[in-house]
Amino acid sequence: MVAEQGTPKRLHFDFVGAVLWLVRILAILAVVIGAFVSLTSGRLSAAAWLNFVVIGIGQGAIYALIALGYTMVYGVLGFINFAHGEVFMSGAMVGAFAANSLAQAGMWNSSPILSILIVLLIAMATSTLVALLLERVAYRRLRNAPRLIPLITSIGASFFIQYAFLGLFGAQTRTYPALSILDGFISVAGLNIRYADIMVIGAAVVMMVGLYTFVERTKAGRALRAVAEDKEIAALMGVNVNRTIVLTFAVGGAMAGAAALLFGVVFRTVFFFSGFLFGIKAFTAAVLGGIGNIVGAMLGGLTLGIFESVGPSLVLTGLGIPSAHQLKDVVAFLALVLVLIFKPTGLLGERLSEERA
């Protein structure tokens, strides 16, 4: 970008650049050595290693769906919506109540598809409602404020929603009833892939494709891209900026609601704190893939899921680190740092908005 640099500056540039190169090399070395040791130790079979990848994709798909909400809001409004994790959690909790009611009514396992659809609608509606409330109450007036302000507001909103749910629904965990049709595997090339994982990945892909089509091909999607590019000019071009922003939050909320249902049906236990860590991970995923980029969010989510799942067993245990799975989050965040060092705009670069300095 900057062609000329003064002499003192160049020294510093070299120093920092050198350190970063060192970090890159160390990282690659660590990964290669660890992986080599692990794979050749015979600790786990090949099927087991592949299973790690499958597990990672399953978890990553959920990260991806939540990441979509982050990436869209960031792309259009330019700030991190910290409370998006809570949007997810609200759908998951309310979905749990709905699912348990259906189970009590005997419908859950007798008509599973219908039940899932009902709970999906309820979860999506709840999440969308929470997202819209957030926008209306907390964010609308701050549209033109410097970016730190809505960020802080979103942190406040995140705490508020978490503890509101704690107060309203109590601290205990809520569990979705088991869904018998999801039991079972398909055997593909020696790998056992659960029906549940297939459903999650399938649903995520469908949502992704749907959202991509929406953003690229429809009029509303075009409006979204326009507002992401430049709010004022878009308004001059006749785009109803307010409605577009509301739509962004609604769509993000709906995606999170879908993720909530998938999480609920597969992982089954939720409580008021479930959204917090997921929110952070999902935002990590969004940044990993390139913030503002929808395909990037999916890629980032899957990548993060795979790193988390494969990393500890493959690299850390190989390097001789005990209790490697405790360091799962360390792997995730280090992966983020390394990707950003290698590629500062994320894996696929930014898309929805170009300049966000």
Partner 1 sequence: MAQTTKTPTAAPPGDLPPTRRNFVDLVMAARWGLVGGATATFVSAVGMVPDFDGVMLVDPILTLGYLVLFLVPFGFGYVAARPPMTLQGQEPARVGPRNVLAGAVAGLVTGLVLIIPVLVAANLNLRSVFVNLSPAMVETLTFGQTVADSEGLVIPAVGLALLIAGCLVAGALGGAVNVVSTRWRQAILAGLLWVLTVGLLEDLVMQFFRGINLDALVGVFFAPGGGLKPLGTIIVFVLVFSLRLLFARRPPRIKARYQALDQAERRRWVIIGIAISAVIVYLIPVVLGGFMSEILDLVGIYLLMALGLNIVIGFAGLLDLGYVAFFAVGAYMTAVLTSSGSPALSPELTFWAALPFVVLAAAVSGLLVGTPVLRMRGDYLAIVTLGFGEIARILFLSDWLNPVFGGAQGITQIPSPSIGSLELNTPPQFFYPIIVLVFVAAYITWALANSRIGRAWNAIREDEPIAEALGVNIVTAKLSAFVVGAALASFAGALFASKVGAVFPNSFSIVVSIVVLVIIIVGGMGNIAGVAVGALVIVGLPQLLREFDEYRFLLYGALLIFMMLAKPEGILPSRRRVAELHQEEMGQDAWLTAEPEVELDQARATPATAKD
Partner 2 sequence: MPQTKLRIRLLAVLSVLVLIVAACGGGDGDTTTTEADPGSATTTEADPGSDTTTDAPGTTTAGGEDLGSVTIGAGEPVIIASIQTISGATASLGQDQVDAIEVAIADRGGELLGHPIELQSEDGLCSADGGSTAAEAIVANPQVVGILGTSCSGAGVPASQIMSEAGLVMISGSNTSPSLTALPYLADEPLEAQENWNPGYFRTAHNDEFQGAGAATFAAEDLGAATAVTIHDGDPYTEGLTTQFGEFFTGGGGEVVLATAVNKGDTDMRPILQEIEALAPDVLFMPIFQPEADFIVQQIGEFPGLADTQLMGADGILSDTFVVLPETEGMVFSGPAQAAGSAYEDFVAKYEEAVGSPPIQAFHAHSYDAANMLFDAIEAVAQEDGDSLVIDRAALRQYLYDLEGFEGLTGTLACNEFGDCANPAIGIFRNDDPSAGILGVLANVVGTADLAEQVDPEKLN
The contact set with partner 1 (CB under 8 A) reads 2, 6, 8-9, 12-13, 15-16, 19-20, 23, 74, 79-80, 97, 137-138, 141-142, 145-153, 155-164, 166-170, 280, 283-284, 287, 291, 321-323, 326-327, 329-330, 332-334, 336-337, 340-341, 344, 356-357
**Cα(69)–Cα(81) distance, integer angstroms:** 9
Smallest gap from Cβ 324 to partner 2, in A, equals 8
* Residue 188, strand partner residues: 191
* Paired tokens of 124: 């999506």
Q: Indicate the SS3 state at residue 323.
A: coil
Smallest gap from Cβ 163 to partner 2, in A, equals 10
Smallest gap from Cβ 163 to partner 1, in A, equals 4
**Binding partner of residue 175 among partner 1, partner 2, none, CB under 5 to 8 Å per kind?**
partner 2
Task: List the x/- string, 177-206, binding to partner 2 by CB under 8 A.
Answer: -x----x-x------x-x------------
**Binding partner of residue 8 among partner 2, partner 1, none, CB under 5 to 8 Å per kind?**
partner 1
Pairing of strands 174-175, 185-188: unpaired
Task: List the x/- string, 284-323, binding to partner 2 by CB under 8 A.
Answer: ------------------------xxx-xx---x----xx
Closest CB to partner 2 among 11 and 181? 181
- The whole-angstrom distance between residue 225's C-alpha and the CA centroid of its chain comes to 21
Smallest gap from Cβ 227 to partner 2, in A, equals 34
Closest CB to partner 2 among 195 and 214? 195
Closest CB to partner 1 among 269 and 326? 326
CB 127 within 8 A of CB 249: no
**Cα(274)–Cα(113) distance, integer angstroms:** 25
Smallest gap from Cβ 91 to partner 2, in A, equals 16
Closest CA to 67 of 337, 333, 290: 290
Closest CB to partner 1 among 42 and 146? 146
**Binding partner of residue 91 among partner 2, partner 1, none, CB under 5 to 8 Å per kind?**
none
Q: Give the largest CA-CA distance in the chain.
A: 76
Closest CB to partner 1 among 59 and 81? 81
Q: Which residues contact 307 (CB under 8 A, 6 or more apart)?
A: 56, 331, 332, 335
| Alpha helices for 268-343 (secondary structure H) | 274-289, 294-311, 328-342
Closest CA to 179 of 117, 119, 123, 108: 108
* Paired tokens of 292: 């503002």
* Residue 174, strand partner residues: 270
**Cα(215)–Cα(213) distance, integer angstroms:** 5
| Contacts to partner 2 by CB under 8 A | 43-45, 48, 51-52, 55-56, 59, 171-173, 175, 178, 183, 185, 192, 194, 263, 267-269, 271-274, 276-278, 308-310, 312-313, 317, 322-326, 328-329
